[in-house]
A and B are shown apart, each in its own frame.
Chain A
């Protein structure tokens, strides 16, 4: 296992895409944070909404590049997911899986080391994004305030990024196709789930619900997205009946990670069982 970890660390640090992807995630997340700072400052100047900068909810929103509020995709997670796709996809695209598996015949160790190293790699720039965004918020917004309630969205921001990285690895393992896995990891959370989520919720709210509203809770990417919301129940005011109740933080966290675990199970099994 140590050899596999060393190998994977050498792998991830010896290709440019690791740095490009992490750098883009960092830069674009910081760019979004700057834009959000401008939005908050503009709202403060208008004065209609009170002192937004003084509200820790909005400060958290800036620090997480919008992740703690609805409606904005987590750009950093997308880049880390693509990194995950490349971590495994390169093996198939360039035929390096044979070199990898002749050097390290223990496939479980190979997959575990890929997952561990990528998770550690992703967690580092995700943390850096939060720190950089905090600095940006302090720099651009007067009266910026964070409190204890800010920690949960920030922690789950990191976990969400790690989860997406793992999803990328496993989708590449399943598809054995880098392009296909990148498409899947982008389309699923950014296109497919929002459409399904909207249909299920609208169906429930229209009164023709037969319990479909609750199914929206089972969409893993959406559930993971909600774990970063501050407050958690941002959609609570949309509920009209028990049929559309948004599940709690624990349940949503579980749904997200069960989804990742299912991908790990399928991807891991196929990686071990299939021919190289």
Chain B
């Protein structure tokens, strides 16, 4: 059950850095989600980890680089493409071909093909397979050598809800057996249910790494919501106490930097009537969008954001995340000037991940990823992330 250690992974395409100085650990016994916007370098990172691309840095599996593993399929299983099969080679023959290359018993082929639910089509040609069936065959390939480590790139693509449910349970069960599972996905709700830890990248650089609960706790969307009869006074006094206050479209104040006891207590001191006081907890999606909003590789050039009355709200990653973003602050969404928007969350709210993105976050790729934000090394993680924030 291998510990994956990625150190200083870097890859450049035509002078443009796709991955730069990426370092992280994937520990046994956990599902580690790999998140990032399109073009963030997730697939390139996985190819680097598997020795498929030539780049800088090294990834080791219990201290051994992939290319030096004697029987790699028995130690690391991977799925990088949805349907990487010859269309007319029978599914069972595809697996047998891989099995003989790594001295995997023939009986294991039948085991895995039944495990992924393709027993009835074992002798069918993959050209007849749906995308979901292709994914299952890919998973069978990854599981063929009963490896201690799985590296999966978007394995839920094309799976139906039952398939996604099955995948989630299987990966969690495999992690429960002590295996290291490293999985990328755009399905954040699914990742929220599946992953224990996260590695988040943007524009090829590390944004965060660690436990998912810690990552979510860093979100600016975590806030105390309060509705009062004198919001101006309440806002002024909260800001005087270094809280960040954003007026929601419905008039409520979203307060970060003060907990609900403090906010309620202040209202009482001020003699302000309170109609509502609650905590809002961020979802993984919100935390992810907060963290990666400025690091999207590709964005729509025509906004559906604050220029568009038809849509009203900001386009994620383009508007509304603070003064540093390309689109500037979103007045409609957050109703506050840029300095009070989502670009400058309270520093104490970021825990393990250090400081939040500063204005312009992501404009210059953070350089701190080369260090080692391992779950076991909290201080270095904080330092790295602080540097990330400061560097932009």
Chain B interface SS verdict (over half):
loop
- A98, B93: Cβ atoms closer than 8 Å: no
| Nearest CB in chain B: distance from A103 CB, A | 5
Contacts of B130 in A (CB 8 A): none
Known: A14-B89, A275-B53. A102 touches B97 (CB 8 A): no
Contact of B73 among A6, A90, A98, A102 (CB under 8 A): A102
| Nearest CB in chain B: distance from A60 CB, A | 38
B107 in the interface (beta carbon within 8 A) = no
Known: A98-B52, A106-B67. A3 touches B87 (CB 8 A): no
- A103, B89: Cβ atoms closer than 8 Å: no
- A4, B101: Cβ atoms closer than 8 Å: yes
| Nearest CB in chain A: distance from B149 CB, A | 12
Contacts of A90 in B (CB 8 A): 86
- B101, A102: Cβ atoms closer than 8 Å: no
Chain B 54-85 interface residues, beta-carbon cutoff 8 Å to A = 54, 66-67, 69, 71-73, 76, 78, 80-81, 83-85
A16 to B86, CA, bound (A): 11
Contacts of B80 in A (CB 8 A): 98, 102
Tell me which of B53, B54, B69, B89 has the highest count of chain A C-beta atoms within 10 A of its own C-beta: B89
Contacts of A103 in B (CB 8 A): 72-73, 98, 101-102
Known: A101-B51, A102-B73, A105-B72. A7 touches B88 (CB 8 A): no
- A99, B67: Cβ atoms closer than 8 Å: no
Known: A95-B81, A102-B73, A105-B66. A14 touches B100 (CB 8 A): no
Contacts of A11 in B (CB 8 A): 97
Chain A 81-102 interface residues, beta-carbon cutoff 8 Å to B = 90, 94-96, 98-99, 101-102
| Nearest CB in chain A: distance from B131 CB, A | 14
A3 to B51, CA, bound (A): 18
- A104, B101: Cβ atoms closer than 8 Å: yes
- B69, A16: Cβ atoms closer than 8 Å: no
B208 in the interface (beta carbon within 8 A) = no
B90 in the interface (beta carbon within 8 A) = yes
Tell me which of B94, B97, B98 has the highest count of chain A C-beta atoms within 10 A of its own C-beta: B97
A15 in the interface (beta carbon within 8 A) = yes
A16 to B98, CA, bound (A): 18
Contacts of B67 in A (CB 8 A): 105-106
- B87, A94: Cβ atoms closer than 8 Å: yes
- B66, A15: Cβ atoms closer than 8 Å: no
Identify the closest chain A residue to B44 (Cβ): A275
Contact of A10 among B50, B100, B141 (CB under 8 A): B100
A89 to B93, CA, bound (A): 19
A interface bracket (residues with beta carbon within 8 Å of B): 20 to 34
| Nearest CB in chain A: distance from B46 CB, A | 10
- B52, A14: Cβ atoms closer than 8 Å: no
- A10, B53: Cβ atoms closer than 8 Å: no
Known: A15-B88, A94-B85, A94-B87. A276 touches B97 (CB 8 A): no
Contact of B53 among A4, A95, A276 (CB under 8 A): A276
B232 in the interface (beta carbon within 8 A) = no
Contacts of B94 in A (CB 8 A): 14
- B50, A14: Cβ atoms closer than 8 Å: no
A275 to B78, CA, bound (A): 17
Identify the closest chain A residue to B68 (Cβ): A105
Contact of B52 among A7, A96, A102 (CB under 8 A): A102
A95 to B78, CA, bound (A): 14
Contacts of A99 in B (CB 8 A): 84-85, 98, 141
B47 in the interface (beta carbon within 8 A) = yes
B111 in the interface (beta carbon within 8 A) = no
Contacts of A17 in B (CB 8 A): 88
Contacts of A275 in B (CB 8 A): 47, 52-54
- B69, A3: Cβ atoms closer than 8 Å: no
A180 to B102, CA, bound (A): 32
A14 to B98, CA, bound (A): 12
Contacts of A274 in B (CB 8 A): 54
Contacts of B66 in A (CB 8 A): 102, 105
| Nearest CB in chain B: distance from A94 CB, A | 5
Chain A 10-51 interface residues, beta-carbon cutoff 8 Å to B = 10-11, 14-17
B229 in the interface (beta carbon within 8 A) = no
Tell me which of A4, A90, A105, A273 has the highest count of chain B C-beta atoms within 10 A of its own C-beta: A105
| Nearest CB in chain B: distance from A96 CB, A | 5
- B84, A96: Cβ atoms closer than 8 Å: yes
Known: A103-B72, A103-B73. A10 touches B86 (CB 8 A): no
Chain B 87-123 interface residues, beta-carbon cutoff 8 Å to A = 87-90, 93-94, 96-98, 100-103
User: Could you list some 20 contacts between A and B, CB below 8 A?
Assistant: A6-B100, A6-B101, A10-B93, A14-B97, A90-B86, A94-B84, A94-B86, A94-B87, A96-B85, A99-B84, A99-B85, A99-B98, A102-B73, A103-B98, A103-B102, A104-B101, A105-B67, A275-B47, A275-B52, A276-B47
User: A residues bordering B, Cβ < 8 Å?
Assistant: 3-4, 6-7, 10-11, 14-17, 90, 94-96, 98-99, 101-106, 273-276
